[in-house]
Structure 1
Amino acid sequence: MNKEQFEKMHSGKGFVAALDQSGGSTPKALAKYGLGEDAYKDSQEMFKLVHEMRVRIIKAPAFNSENILASILFEVTMDSKIDGLYSGDYLWEKKGIIPLLKVDKGLLEKENGVQLMKNIDNLPSLLDKAVDRHIFGTKMRSLILEANETGIVEVVKQQFEIAKKIIARGLVPILEPEVDINANEKEKCEKILHDALKAQIEKLSKDEFIMLKLTIPNKADLYLDLTKYNCVIRVLALSGGYAQDEANKLLAKNHNMIASFSRALSQGLSANQSDANFNQTIQKSIQNIYAASIKKESK
Structure 2
Amino acid sequence: MNNEQLNRMHTGKGFVAALDQSGGSTPKALLQYGVEENEYSNDEEMFAKVHEMRTRIITSPSFTSKHILAAILFENTMDREIEGKLTADYLWDVKGIVPILKVDKGLADLEHGVQLMKPITGLDVLLKRAVDRNIFGTKMRSVIKEANEEGIKAIVRQQFELGKQIADAGLVPILEPEVDIHITDKKEAEVILKREIFKQLELLDKDTKLMFKLSIPSEDDFYAELMDYPHVVRVVALSGGYSREEANELLAKNHGLIASFSRALAEGLSAKQSDDEFNKVLANSIESIYKASIV
**SS of match in other structure, 2:101:** strand
How far apart are the structure 1 equivalents of 2:245 and 2:206?
Answer: 38
- Deviation, structure 1 residue 57: 0.3
How far apart are the structure 1 equivalents of 2:220 and 2:155?
Answer: 23
Unaligned runs of 5+ in 1: none
- Deviation, structure 1 residue 205: 2.0
Cα displacement string for residues 28-65 of structure 1 (whole angstroms, at most 9, x for unaligned residues): 10010011211110111100000000000001111000
Determine the structure 1 residue equivalent to 2:124. 124
Residue 10 of structure 2 corresponds to residue 10 of structure 1: yes
**SS of match in other structure, 1:138:** strand
How far apart are the structure 2 equivalents of 1:264 and 1:201?
Answer: 30
- Deviation, structure 1 residue 148: 0.4
Determine the structure 1 residue equivalent to 2:114. 114
Q: Percent identity?
A: 61
Determine the structure 2 residue equivalent to 1:231. 231
Cα RMSD between the aligned structures? 0.5
Cα displacement string for residues 57-116 of structure 1 (whole angstroms, at most 9, x for unaligned residues): 001111000000000000000000001100000000000000000000000000000000
How far apart are the structure 2 equivalents of 1:256 and 1:153?
Answer: 26
Give the AA of the match of 1:103: V
Equivalent residue runs for 1:32-111 within 5 Å: 32-111=32-111
Cα displacement string for residues 245-289 of structure 1 (whole angstroms, at most 9, x for unaligned residues): 000000001111100000000000000000000000000000000
Determine the structure 2 residue equivalent to 1:19. 19
Give the AA of the match of 2:176: E
Determine the structure 2 residue equivalent to 1:260. 260
Determine the structure 1 residue equivalent to 2:290. 290
Equivalent residue runs for 1:133-212 within 5 Å: 133-212=133-212
How far apart are the structure 1 equivalents of 2:149 and 2:52?
Answer: 42
Unaligned runs of 5+ in 2: none
**SS of match in other structure, 1:242:** coil
**SS of match in other structure, 1:99:** strand
Give the AA of the match of 1:50: V
Give the AA of the match of 2:11: S
The two structures have a TM-score, normalised by structure 1, of: 0.98
**SS of match in other structure, 1:220:** coil
Cα displacement string for residues 191-250 of structure 1 (whole angstroms, at most 9, x for unaligned residues): 111111111112112200000000001111111111111110100000001000000000
How far apart are the structure 1 equivalents of 2:108 and 2:204?
Answer: 27
Find runs of 4+ consecutive structure 1 residues off by over 2 angstroms. none
**SS of match in other structure, 1:4:** helix
